[in-house]
Amino acid sequence: MTKKLSSLNVLSLCLLACSLVASAAHAADGDWKRGRVYYQKVCTECHTAKAGGPIAPNTRTMADWTKYLNTDKHAKGKEPLKMYVSREYRANIKATNKAAEKYADVPDEQLFNDVKTFMLKGAKDGDSPASCL
């Protein structure tokens, strides 16, 4: 049953591992200040108005937030979480939301990474637990 790995396999695995490490490092290095503003002015404002109240980053651990963000489910799975940082969503609310207007052209992945960086940094066990709402 033992299968010998070809040199192409080994090379690919190494490169894949390097790439994943690089991606993880990138994920931790978003613009946390921009993420903070988006979290406060879009996520928190909407949660306060429509979803029963704000959720501070320091109410969850980094593992909790990572799992939540990777699962990409919002409102108990009814919709993808990433929709709320998409350019399309920002375009829809920018008339009434200054953060969506200011960051209208920021690429989706970049903004999502910014918010993620802020949430992980601000988590209960993060580098700088954040209660800011």
Partner 1 sequence: MRTGIFMAAVLASMLLVSAAHAASDPDSAKLSKSTSDHTKFKALQQEFNSGPEVTKACLSCHTEASKQLHKTEHWKWEYRSPEGQLLGKKNVINNFCTSIRTNEAACNICHIGYGWKDDTFDFTSEVNVDCLVCHDTTGNYKKPAGLAGNVVTKAMEFPPGSGNIIKPIDLKKIAQAVGKTSRDTCGACHFYGGGGDGVKHGDMDSSLASPDQALDVHMDALGLNFACATCHMTEGHQVPGSRYAPTAQDKGDAHVRGKEYTSNPTTCQACHGQAPHKKIAKLNDHTDKVACQACHIPKFARGGVATKMSWDWSTGGKMGPDGKPLIKKDAKGHVIYTAAKGDFILGENVVPDYQWFNGKVGYTLFSDKVEKSDQPTRINHFEGSAGDGKSLIWPVKIMRGKQAFDPVNKRLAVVHTAGNDDTGYWTNFNWEKAVAVGMASIGAPFSGKVDFVTTESTWPITHMVAPAKDALRCHDCHASNGRLEKVPGIYIPGRASDHAGWLDTAGWALAALTLLGVLGHGLGRVIVSKRNK
Residues at the contact surface with partner 1, assessed by CB under 8 A: 6, 8-9, 12-13, 15-16, 19, 22-23, 32-33, 36-37, 40-41, 98-99, 101-102, 105-107, 109-110, 121, 127-128, 132-133
Q: How far is the CB of 36 from partner 1 (least distance, A)?
A: 5
Q: How far is the CB of 86 from partner 1 (least distance, A)?
A: 14
Q: How far is the CB of 100 from partner 1 (least distance, A)?
A: 10
CA angle at 99 for the pair 95 and 105, rounded to the nearest 5°: 85
Per 3-state DSSP, what percentage of the chain is helix, strand, and coil (rounded to 5)? 65, 0, 35
